[in-house]
Amino acid sequence: MAAPDTLTPVRSQPWRVRFDAGRNARGKIGFVLIPNEQTIEADMIGHAPAGVGMYFARAVMPREITTTSLAQCAETLAAAAGRILPDDGLDVICFACTSGTVAVGEDRALRELEKGAPGARPATLMGAVRAALTTLGAQRIAVGTPYVDELNTHVAGYLTGAGFDIAAFQGLNLTTDHEMIRVAPDYLIEFARAVDCPDADAVLISCGALRTIEVVDVIEQTLGKPVVCSNQAMLWQCLRLAGIDDRLPGLGTLLRDH
């Protein structure tokens, strides 16, 4: 083998490179996750319509899921958003944590996202939930979450402040993503049935770590009413903000009809 100093210089040929539109020609959506989140990436990529790219970064916070720990995400939201396709740009940037939106504050979360990705339309997961419930015409809702009581109190406050009446509210008292990501989807069907009540016109199962999107259609068929879950709502709103109006079957009334 020739020594490096005796190698013949390589000169590129004047190729006429042929380009196509690439894999994300219809839209580029970015998500800022919390550190140990392990459900959202697969849900967003797995259900993305053809031509839509889904990209991710992570904010910084302690392991335990509480209002205090989640609020610390605010300090790194802008930096995380700025790491996603910094030279190519995004159409939408979303803080992908339902309870984290409440802990940080929706207005501040949107400001931080705009700071990090100024060319993108900002969104939050809880904001997507609120928009989804409104679009479905829900007024009185039954709510199930995996959170501890302290965090549930803040989530309930956000929902009532947004104008919804809460008919029932149940939490599973889990404290880490490691627990939340392993809640069995068939158990979530049982949980939704237990949370529901006759005078609720919709059911919300909150938290992006839960695998509710896998069974949201089954839950709707079981309960006979609209059901919103975090990742379904986030996918719907981010696509619509990106100007993508595809209807997606098997993911509940929201993505099928709106």
pLDDT in tens, 86-108: 999 999 999 999 999 999 999 99
| Predicted model pTM | 0.94
pLDDT at 67: 93
Predicted confidence band at 11 (pLDDT cuts at 50, 70, 90)?
confident
Whether residue 191 has pLDDT greater than 60: yes
pLDDT at 6: 67
pLDDT at 5: 62
pLDDT at 3: 58
Q: At 242, is the secondary structure helix, strand, or coil?
A: coil
Whether residue 43 has pLDDT greater than 80: yes
- The closest of 103, 112, 124 to 61, measured between CA atoms, is 103
* Rounded average pLDDT over 138-144: 98
Whether residue 135 has pLDDT greater than 90: yes
Predicted confidence band at 15 (pLDDT cuts at 50, 70, 90)?
confident
Predicted confidence band at 12 (pLDDT cuts at 50, 70, 90)?
confident
Element (H, E) at 166: strand 165-171
By percentage, how much of the chain surpasses pLDDT 90?
Answer: 93
What's the 3-state SS for 92-129?
A: EEEECCHHHHHHHCHHHHHHHHHHHCCCCEEEEHHHHH
pLDDT in tens, 222-251: 999 999 999 999 999 999 999 999 999 999
Whether residue 84 has pLDDT greater than 60: yes
Show the tokens assigned to 82.
């700025």
Write the DSSP symbol of residue 87. T
What the chain holds in terms of domains, given with CATH numbers, is 27-124+233-247 (3.40.50.12500), 128-230 (3.40.50.12500)
